[in-house]
Structure formats: structure tokens, C-alpha cells
Amino acid sequence: MHEMLSIATQENPVAGNAHGSYLTMRSKNGLIFGVINVVGNFATVFNDQAYYQRAIASEPASTVKAFLLGGISWFCIPFAFATTLGLSAVALSHGENPLIHLTSAEVSAGLPAPKAAAALLGTSGAAAMLILLFLAVTSAASAEIIATSSILTYDVYG
């Protein structure tokens, strides 16, 4: 994978990254995205009723530990998925015989990760990505439905 990413760096260097490399932590655009993401997610947490609902329903002794553990998990799971599947998509789409072809429309639509998973693991990789997406959407929808029902119950009906 490292060799394939080195080839990708030579063929298509990343502007703003140290030496145009995909394997660097010195990225101007990455820093800008990180700051925007942190600010936006703080706003989401402070303004989303689902988070308040969970905090109010929890016991005070366990709430701090649970929110800290959830915050650490929130960071490491998406970071690991984005890094491994994103870099895999870059590596697999460069070189003499690329395994996948990505158009700019597919990249904008968020398809590099599923295409990389399908290329590496076949149909089981594509199925795993579909299940992952389904679970994320249903979890978020469940939290919002519960928050909305509690607002309607306590604030409107009560």
C-alpha cells in the first residue's frame, strides 16, 4: 500500500501537503477542515436535543464517563475508516493497472470508500459498507425521534 501511495504522490501530488504526499500530517487543507469540523460539531452537540435528552436521562455519576468515552469513540472510528478506506481508494486508483476508477462526480458523492471496500473485499466489502451506512442512519434517526417525542410530550402536551 505504501508503494502504491508513493506512486500516487508522484502521479498526482496533493497541493498544500508536505512534499505533495498523501502520507503526511502536514496538510494545510486538512488543518482547515479539522478546525471547521470541530467548530461545527461543537455547535451540533450544543444545539441538538438528542444530546440533552441523553444527558438528562443518565445518572450524573456515569454521564461524564459516558460522554468522554463517546467523544473518544466518535473521533477514532470515523478517523480510522476515513484514513484506511480513503487512502486505499487513492492507492487503488493510481499506477500502471488501477483497480478502481474514480471520477470527480463519484468522489463528490462520497463513493471512494465503498469502491475501495468493494475492490479489496469483493461483494462482502460492499455489503459491509451498506450495513454500516444503514446502522448509522437508523441510529441517528432513532435519537432524533426520541428527542422530538420527549419535546412534544414534556413541552407541548405537559
Tens-digit pLDDT string for the chain (158 aa): 888 888 888 988 989 899 888 888 899 988 998 899 888 877 777 777 777 777 777 787 888 888 788 778 877 888 888 889 999 999 999 888 888 998 999 999 989 999 999 999 999 999 999 999 999 899 889 888 888 888 788 778 87
Domain residue ranges in the chain: 2-157
How many Cβ atoms from other residues are within 10 Å of residue 92's Cβ? 21
DSSP secondary structure code for residue 22 in this structure: S
